[in-house]
Amino acid sequence: MAASFVAGASVLPPFPVPFKSGTGVIDGKVIYAGLGSAGKTWYKLDTGSPEKKWEPVAEFPGTPREQSTSAVINGNIYVFGGVGKNENGLTQAFNDVYMYNPSENAWRKLMSHSPLGMVGHVTWVHDGKVFTTGGVNQNIFNGYFSDVTLADGNKTLLDDINKNYFGKSADDYLYGNTILTFDPDSSQWHYYGMLPFHGTAGATPVVNGDSIILINGEVKPGLRTDEVIAGQFKNKGLVWKKLSPVSSPDGVAGGFGGMSHGDIIFAGGAYFPGARKNYSQGKFYAHQGLKKTYSDKVYLYKKGKWSDVGTLPQGIAYGVSLPWENGLLMIGGETDGGQATTGSVWLGVNNSHLEIKKQT
C-alpha cells in the first residue's frame, strides 16, 4: 500500500501547550482535550468553524493528573481516574469521576468512585453506558510510590525498591482484567465480567460498531505485548477473541488507534526493544538498561491481517486518539526524551491508499 503526506491539509492548529498523557473527546464537531502536561487546563475546538482555533474552557477542579480517560454521553463529558499527587504530595492512582457540562461551562465532582483504581485503563461507550477495563493494580502502584517517597533519595534503598518492584513476573502485578460499567444516570458502577486474557495497562482501544478492539499495552512495568483482542456485544454480554498480533515482537504501549472505511489503523506507541526477549529468558526486570523507544510505524488491519503501511513524521506515544473525517486524528503525544508535542496528525485510508495529513 502506498502512503502520502499532505502537509497542513484539514489538520488542527497547534495545541496551546505541549500536550502528552492527557485525555480528550469529540462531540459532534467539537473537540475537548486537557489534563496531562496541560495541568488542570482544558480546551475546546470547533472543527466546523472556518477559524478552527483552540479556546480555554473552565478549569478542571480536581487534582492535576495524567493517564485519565474520558467519554461523552448526552453532551456531557466524564473524566475517569488518572495518576497525580494527593494532598500530601504523594503520587497515587485515582478512582474518582468528574463531569463537565459544556452548555454551562462547568465541572462537578460526582459522588462516585470506581471499585478499582483507574490508571492505564481504557474506556469506551456502548448503549449509553461507559465501559472500562485494564490498568494497574492500585495497591501495588500506590505502594511503590509510597516506598520511593519514604526512601527520600537514598540510592541504596531506591535500588532495592526498584529491584523488588520491577523484578517480578507479569502475573504478580495483577493488572486489571475486570470489566466494569458506569451508568451516567445513576453514577453507579456495576460488574460486567472478566477479560479471558491477561490484563494490560496503556492498551489502545478502538470502537468498531458493537465491537471493542484492545491493541497491545504493557503486561507489567516496562514489558509490552503484541497481542490484540476483540470483544463483541452479544446477548447482553461480551464475546472475546484474539486477533493477529501487531508491532511484534515487543509490542507497544500508549499507541494511537482508530477506524477508516471499516479498517483499523494503529500507529505509534512506546516500547523497550529487547524487553520481550529478556523476559522470555527469565530476566523479569526485562527493561533494565534498555532505551525507551518511540515507534513511528503505521499498521492497517484489513481482511484479518495486519500490514505495515507507512511511517509517521516522528515516533510518538501517549497522545489523544479521536475519530474524525473517517480517519484517526492524533493530538499531541510524547517523543524522544519524554518531550511533549503540540502537533496533530490525521491518518486515513481511501482506495487502498494511506494518507497522512500533518501540520506544516
- Provide the residue ranges of all domains of the chain, joining segments of one domain with +: 1-16+204-360
Quick: pLDDT tens for 180-198.
999 999 999 999 999 999 9
> With 90 as the cut, is the pLDDT of residue 5 above it?
no
pLDDT at 358: 86
pLDDT at 115: 96
Give CA–CA dist 194/121, Å, rounded: 14
The full 3-state SS of 72-113, as one line of letters, equals EECCEEEEEEEEEECCCCCEEEEEEEEEEECCCCEEEEEEEE
Cβ-based burial of 105 (10 A; exposed 0-12, middle 13-18, buried ≥19)? exposed
CA distances 54 to 31, 41, 51, 145, 161, Å, are: 9, 12, 9, 35, 43
pLDDT at 3: 63
Instruction: Write the CB contacts of 110 (distance below 8 Å, at least 6 apart in sequence).
Output: 96, 97, 98, 99, 187
Residue numbers annotated as active site: 218
Q: How confident is the model at residue 6 (pLDDT cuts 50, 70, 90)?
A: low
CB–CB of 226/236 below 8 Å?
A: no
Q: What is the distance between the terminal CA atoms of the chain, rounded to a whole angstrom?
A: 24
pLDDT at 11: 85
CB–CB of 41/17 below 8 Å?
A: yes
* Percentage of residues in the chain having pLDDT higher than 70: 97
* Percentage of residues in the chain having pLDDT higher than 90: 93
CATH topology of domain 1-16+204-360: Neuraminidase (2.120.10)
pLDDT at 133: 99
Instruction: Write the CB contacts of 84 (distance below 8 Å, at least 6 apart in sequence).
Output: 63, 64, 65, 66, 91, 92, 94
Residue 322 grid coordinates:
479521536
Give CA–CA dist 177/22, Å, rounded: 23
> With 70 as the cut, is the pLDDT of residue 7 above it?
no
Q: Which residue has the higher pLDDT, 350 or 170?
A: 170
> With 70 as the cut, is the pLDDT of residue 4 above it?
no
pLDDT at 352: 73
Quick: pLDDT tens for 104-134.
999 999 999 999 999 999 999 999 999 999 9
Half-sphere exposure of residue 357, counting CA atoms within 13 Å on the CB side?
A: 17
Please tell me whether the overall predicted TM-score, pTM, comes out greater than 0.75 for this model: yes
